[in-house]
Structure 1
Amino acid sequence: MGILIGILTLYWLGIKRKNMENLKIWLRKNASTAVLTVLFIIVLVNKDAKAWLMRQVASTGILNSSISEPQKKQNNAAKVSYTGLMLKNEEGKIVDTSALQNKVVFINFWASWCPPCRAEFPSVQKLYDQYKNNPDMVFLTVNLDDNVSLGKSYLKEKGFTVPFLTPAGNIPDILYSGSLPTTVVLDKKGEIRMQHIGVADYSKDSFYKQIDELLREKP
């Protein structure tokens, strides 16, 4: 970073031709350093570049969260009251949360300006494609952009077809504490079996197997 600042300072001060030649010589000798510096700057300022880098890290599996075993004792289980979760669909209509009863529910809170959200969204789409026709599985991909049109534009631009939902009231703290992205998986009893904050890869076979196990469980 210090090298790049030094180069820019010389430029804006109106360096002479001789100094420019010296600069060219330095760049030839330190080409790899200059390239890495430029790439670092691009990653810092470009949301898609950040998302790509995070996606490579997530693909290793080191950031992933696993679905937990069911709680044996009811008083130890974190359950969600669907009546406290109010959402609107893309047309602005309130979602009937009673339809979530006895379903495995995948909830993802995201925003278009959030690089980690962008990084994991392709895997969320793949998960959706894998289970969208399963009658026992429901996807709630909840957009938290201040400007709803930005979220819609992002999905359209990238060709994502997951449900576009927005909050129609306060989001229960048990589901979302303010960090993006946040992903929650509920079993058929409404118990939280996974809650992951940060980027992850949900398109791995290992995660599909965990979802399949949840789908086989009885309400």
Structure 2
Amino acid sequence: MENLKIWIRKNGSTAILTVLFIILLVNKDEKAWLMRQAASTGILNSSISESKEGRHVSAKVSYTGLMLKNEDGTMIDVSALQNKVIFINFWASWCPPCRAEFPSVQKLYDRYRNNPEMVFLTVNLDDNMSLGKSYLKEKSFTVPFLTPAGNIPDILYSGSLPTTVVLDKKGEIRLHHKGLADYSKDSFYKQIDELLNEKS
């Protein structure tokens, strides 16, 4: 026992850091907080690409099969959302990087939710959708709760969570980002504004 006290006195800071590290590894919210701090630097972010004329036609064809449904069971056909900028985020409540970026997704939604030229499709991929609903309610997030109503085309989602896709008004994929990012940066808002100002 005396040896343990001596070891703690000599290595107290190491012991505290080890305990904190274990907590971060085990607790989803703490892990998400740590990831959010990394994302806030902007290092992990992708940029919206320049338009590649002509490419939007083939890209449209490959995601026409994406059908979603909202909480009321209303179906949404993504290919029918013409002349709008579409922000699609695939997420799950058990995914720490999803939890880490979700506050920034909510801020983006709050900023553009009343813009008739922008659509938000936040697609929950929990096996049990009540877990996703509970997470949004617990954190007071108000983004749309959508679930897939069929297969998701590979061009949009290939298994990595979170995945974010931004489509321009022509239906061209202008951002495809796998992994954590911060969507509440002024630089990202500026890119969204540029897309909104483009002619369809």
TM-score of the alignment, normalized to the shorter chain, above 0.5: yes
Query: Match of 1:80?
Result: 60
Amino acid aligned to 1:106:
F
Cα distance in 1, alignment partners of residues 30 and 9 from structure 2: 26
Number of residue pairs matched? 199
Query: Match of 2:171?
Result: 190
Query: Match of 2:141?
Result: 160
Q: Which stretches in structure 2 are left out of the alignment for 5+ residues?
A: none
2:59 is paired with a residue of what secondary structure? coil
Cα distance in 1, alignment partners of residues 91 and 64 from structure 2: 22
Query: Match of 1:44?
Result: 25
Query: Match of 1:216?
Result: 197
Counterpart among 168, 177, 186 of residue 205 in structure 1: 186
2:192 is paired with a residue of what secondary structure? helix
Matches within 5 A, 1:18-29: 20-29=1-10
Structure 1's consecutive aligned runs of 4 or more residues displaced over 6 angstroms after TM superposition are none
Matches within 5 A, 1:90-105: 90-97=71-78, 99-105=80-86
Going from structure 1 to structure 2, the CA distance change for 1:197 and 1:98 (only over 3 Å counts) comes to closer
Query: Match of 2:114?
Result: 133
1:95 is paired with a residue of what secondary structure? strand
Q: Which stretches in structure 1 are left out of the alignment for 5+ residues?
A: 1-19
Amino acid aligned to 1:22:
N
| Larger CA Rg, structure 1 vs 2 | 1
Query: Match of 2:38?
Result: 57
Cα distance in 2, alignment partners of residues 93 and 209 from structure 1: 32
Cα distance in 2, alignment partners of residues 113 and 208 from structure 1: 28
| Alignment check: 8 A CA contact 1:107 1:142 kept | yes
Shift of 1:25: 1.9
Q: Output one character per residue of 1:80-139: Cα deviation in whole Å (capped at 9) or x when no partner.
A: 346411001012221244551110000000000000000000000000000000000000
Q: Output one character per residue of 1:183-208: Cα deviation in whole Å (capped at 9) or x when no partner.
A: 00000000000000000000000000
Cα distance in 2, alignment partners of residues 78 and 191 from structure 1: 9
Going from structure 1 to structure 2, the CA distance change for 1:78 and 1:68 (only over 3 Å counts) comes to farther
Cα distance in 2, alignment partners of residues 76 and 163 from structure 1: 26
1:208 is paired with a residue of what secondary structure? helix
1:206 is paired with a residue of what secondary structure? helix
Matches within 5 A, 1:174-189: 174-189=155-170
Normalized against structure 1, the TM-score is what?
A: 0.87
Cα distance in 2, alignment partners of residues 94 and 136 from structure 1: 19
Normalized against structure 2, the TM-score is what?
A: 0.96
1:84 is paired with a residue of what secondary structure? coil
